[in-house]
Structure formats: C-alpha cells, structure tokens
C-alpha cells in the first residue's frame, strides 16, 4: 500500500535509512575534519583581533602619556634654559659694571698720581726758579748798583723783589 | 524515454540503488569539498579558506536572523552541512543523467521525494528534540496550546504540513528541473534540427536550474533554522 504513497514514487525504507545514516555520518565527519577546525581558526582570529585592538588601545594610551610627559619635560627645560640665560645676562651685566668701575677707579688713581706729580714738579721748579731768580737778581743788582748801594739797602731791595717774584706764580 | 529506478530488496527493505549511489557521491563530494577548503587553515585566510569562511558566515547570518546566537550557535554545523549537501545534490543532476537499460542511475538525490522527505522529517524531528531538550517538556507542550487552546489541532497539522512542504518543495523544484532537462536532452538527441533547437533552451534551463538549486538549498537551510527557532526560542 505504500508503493504509490507520494506522486507515484516507490516507498523505499532502505533509501530512508541510507539517507539518514549517510547524513549523520557526513555531519559527524565534517564536524571533526572541517567545521571544527574552521570554527577554531575563526574563533582564534576573533580572539587575535580582539587582543590586537586591546593592545593597540593600550599602546595609544601609553604613547599619549609619554607625549604628555615629554611635553612637560620640554616646558621645564625651556624654563630652565630661560632662567639660565637670564642669570648669565645678569652676571655679564654685573661683570661689565665691575670692569667699568675698576677702570674708572684706575683712571682716577692715575689722574691723581699725575696731578700730584705735576704739583710736585711745579713746586720744585718754582723753588729752583726762586733760587735762580734770587741769585740772578743778586747778580744783576750787584752789577747795576754795585757801587751806589750799601749793603743794607741792597738787601732790602732784593727781598722786595723776591717777595714779588714769589707772589707771581 | 521512460526511466525507472534500479531497486533491490535487502534485509526486507527496498533500496533504490541509484539513490544509494548518488547519496554516497553527494556526501563524498561535500566531504572532499569541506576538507579541501579547510586543509590549510591560517589566521590570514587565503583562497579556498575565504570561500568556506564565507559559507560559514552566511549560515551564521541565517541563524542570527532567526534566533539569538547563544541558542542558535549549536546549529551552525547542522546548517552548513544541510546547505552544502543539498546544494551539491541539486547540482549533481544538472550536467548529465546516466541511464543504463532504462534504469536511471545518475541524477540528483534530491529529485526523489523519499530523500527530501527523509531530510525534512529529520529536521522536524530535530526541532522537537531540541524543543524538549532546551525548554523542557512542559514548556515544549505549552507551545502547542499557546497563545490559544483551540489552536492545538492546527499546531499538530502545522507540524505535518511543515514536514511535507519542506520536503516536497525541494523535491518538486529539482525533479521538475531534471524532467525538463531530460526532455531537452531527448530532443537534442533526436537529430540535427533537434540538437540545434534544443541547444539554446538547454543552456538557459541549465543556468536557471543552477539558480533554482542554489535557492532551494538556501530555502531548505533557512526554513530549518526557522522551524528550530520556532521550537527553541523563548518568544515567537
């Protein structure tokens, strides 16, 4: 009665059994030899990609932190350099000032020494001049008034001249 | 050109030897295809691995569109095997048919209702099995009377109609394709005029049959997942 069950096709219990067994065997074989490994590699890749993303994220954060650190460091170094430069400038200024001061003092000293020397020279010149004038005057006077003046009047006259000569510097 | 099946009796059961042959060949091709494509697996997929991974992603998509991955993940291998087995079976009958002494040996195994209904029944039985296993007998039984009690007879009918339509849809499409191919081949063999006349329709029909065979493999897998989801998903 099964022989014309569906659209005239014969009812073949053997086919049913064979198809079932074949399918189940195929499923088991594929699971073991194909789908299992394939699934494994796909899972592995998924894991790998997830890891890569994680590590990339971590690296990025690290790089950012490092960058911040570097930026801070840069700022600090720049400030240091600026301070150092200012220091140097100040020091140089001070040194220049000191040099100028020393030069000024030196020149002053030299000037003073020169002035003192000049004064001394002049005094000694005046003294020697006075002596010479005195002796010259005496000589002249003695030549001019040798005969007319006595000793006392002559001396008086000489003194007068000497005083005048001493006042006229 | 009336063909009949080469049958034999063994252990009290009728075996259609051409079905046995073609089931074995289809299974072997699927197995070889799967093993060759997954032979050299690498983290960076190349060539054939790309193809098989695309198939896997495709079936994943099918499952994902009917149920959530946590419940559906276990059906991935089943879906892939069904998809590839039915696809290969559908393609087998396309290039040629071999008949010896008017016994048809080479054909699509899916061009036989016994085979398609076996697969369909297997799928429906699996849905019940997983329905009971994953939701419990009580919850499974409640599925037949919800949302309303009087739907019970319809639910029972639905199970049988699901099985029938699932199997017969596949059978009908592939069988019809092979019938027409056989007719065209007969026309082509009838003479020079027949060969000239049959060439173009043959070309077109074979192209269309490839399309139909692909679509049917897809539909069978899709419906399998839909039926399973119907039984194992928490809401429907």
Residue B91 · residue B210 · CB < 8 Å: yes
A136 falls within a domain: yes
Where is B8: in which H helix or E strand?
strand B7-10
Which segments of chain A have a pLDDT < 70?
1-11, 145-149, 168-169
Say yes or no for a CB contact (<8 Å) between B85 and A26: yes
Among the partner residues B76, B78, B122, nearest to A20 by beta-carbon distance: B122
Considering only CB atoms, which chain B residues are within 8 Å of A37? 38, 41
Is A127 in the B-facing interface, judged by CB distances under 8 Å?
Answer: no
Say how far apart CA A29 and CA A88 lie, in whole Å.
85
Residue A6 lies in a domain: no
Give chain B's mean pLDDT: 83
Mean pLDDT of B74-96: 86
For residues A53, A55, A60, A62, the Cα torsion angle rounded to the nearest 10 degrees is 160
Instruction: Judge residue B110's burial from the number of C-beta atoms within 10 Å of its C-beta, 0-12 exposed, 13-18 middle, 19 or more buried.
Output: buried
Angle made by CA atoms B33, B35, B39, in degrees to the nearest 5: 120
Please give the residue range of the domain that contains residue A42. Answer: 13-167
pLDDT in tens, B194-227: 777 778 888 888 888 889 989 999 999 999 988 8
Among A2, A10, A30, pick the best mutation site for testing chain B contact (most B Cβ within 10 A).
A30
Sorted by where each begins, the domain ranges of chain B are: 7-232
Strand-strand pairing, B7-10 and B13-16: antiparallel
Q: Say if A101 falls within a structural domain.
A: yes
pLDDT at B155: 85
Q: Over range B35-45, report the average pLDDT.
A: 78
CB atoms near residue B236 (< 10 Å): 13
Q: Give the residue ranges of DSSP H helices in B38-151.
A: 47-66, 69-72, 76-92, 113-135, 137-142
Q: In whole angstroms, how far apart are CA B102 and each of B3, B4, B97?
A: 5, 7, 11
Size of interface A-B (CB pairs under 8 A): 120
The torsion angles phi and psi of A11, rounded to 5 degrees, stand at: -90, 110
For chain A, say whether B89 makes contact (Cβ under 8 Å): no
Residue among B56, B78, B81 whose CB faces A38 most closely: B56
Q: Which phi and psi (to 5°) does residue B100 adopt?
A: -120, 125
SS3 state at B44: coil
Look at residue A149 in the predicted model and tell me its pLDDT.
63
Residue B2: is its pLDDT beyond 70? no
pLDDT digits (tens, 9 = 90+) for A61-102: 999 999 999 999 999 999 999 999 999 999 999 999 999 999
Which residues does residue B8 pair with via DSSP β-bridges, in sequence order? B15
Nearest CA in chain A to B167: A6
Is A3 a domain residue? no
Q: Which one of A2, A7, A22, A32 would you mutate to disrupt binding with B, by most B Cβ within 10 Å of its Cβ?
A: A22
- Domain count for chain A, please give it: 1
Lowest mean pLDDT across A124-128, B3-7, B37-41, B80-84: B3-7
pLDDT > 70 fraction of chain B, expressed in percent and rounded: 92
| B206 and B181 Cβ atoms separated by less than 8 Å | yes
B56: contact with A, CB 8 A cutoff: yes
The whole-number pLDDT of residue A7 equals: 45
């Amino acid at each position: 009665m099964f022989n014309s069950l569906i659209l005239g096709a014969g009812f073949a219990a053997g086919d049913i059994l064979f198809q079932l067994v074949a399918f189940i065997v195929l499923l088991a074989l594929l699971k073991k030899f194909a789908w299992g490994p394939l699934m494994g590699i796909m899972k592995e890749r998924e894991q790998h990609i997830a890891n890569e993303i994680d590590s990339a994220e971590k690296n990025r954060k690290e790089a950012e932190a490092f960058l911040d650190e570097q930026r801070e460091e840069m700022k600090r170094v720049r400030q240091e350099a600026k301070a150092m430069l200012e220091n140097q400038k100040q020091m140089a200024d001070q040194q220049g000032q000191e040099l100028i001061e020393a030069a000024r003092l030196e020149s002053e000293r030299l000037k003073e020494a020169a002035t003192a020397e000049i004064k001394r020279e002049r005094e000694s010149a005046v003294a020697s001049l006075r002596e010479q004038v005195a002796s010259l005057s005496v000589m002249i006077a003695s030549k001019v008034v040798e005969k007319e003046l006595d000793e006392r009047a002559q001396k008086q006259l000489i003194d007068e001249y000497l005083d005048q000569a001493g006042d006229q510097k | 050109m009336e063909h009949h099946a080469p049958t034999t009796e063994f252990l009290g059961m009728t075996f259609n030897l051409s079905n046995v042959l073609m089931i074995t060949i289809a299974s072997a091709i699927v197995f070889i295809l799967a093993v060759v494509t997954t032979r050299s697996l690498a983290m960076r997929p190349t060539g054939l691995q790309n193809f098989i991974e695309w198939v896997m992603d495709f079936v994943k998509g099918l499952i994902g569109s009917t149920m959530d991955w946590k419940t559906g993940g276990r059906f991935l291998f089943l879906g892939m095997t069904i998809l590839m087995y039915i696809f290969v079976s559908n393609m087998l009958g396309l290039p040629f048919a071999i008949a010896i002494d008017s016994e048809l040996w080479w054909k699509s195994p899916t061009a036989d209702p016994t085979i398609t209904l076996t697969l369909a029944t297997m799928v429906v039985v699996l849905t019940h099995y997983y329905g009971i296993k994953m939701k419990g007998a009580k919850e499974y039984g409640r599925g037949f009377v919800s949302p309303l009690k009087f739907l019970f007879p319809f639910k029972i009918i639905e199970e049988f109609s699901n099985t029938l339509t699932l199997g017969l849809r596949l059978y009908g499409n592939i069988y019809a394709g092979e019938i027409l191919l056989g007719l065209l081949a007969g026309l082509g063999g009838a003479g020079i005029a027949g060969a000239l006349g049959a060439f173009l329709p043959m070309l077109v029909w074979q192209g269309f049959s490839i399309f139909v065979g692909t679509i049917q493999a897809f539909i069978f897998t899709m419906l399998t997942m839909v039926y399973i989801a119907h039984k194992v998903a928490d809401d429907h």
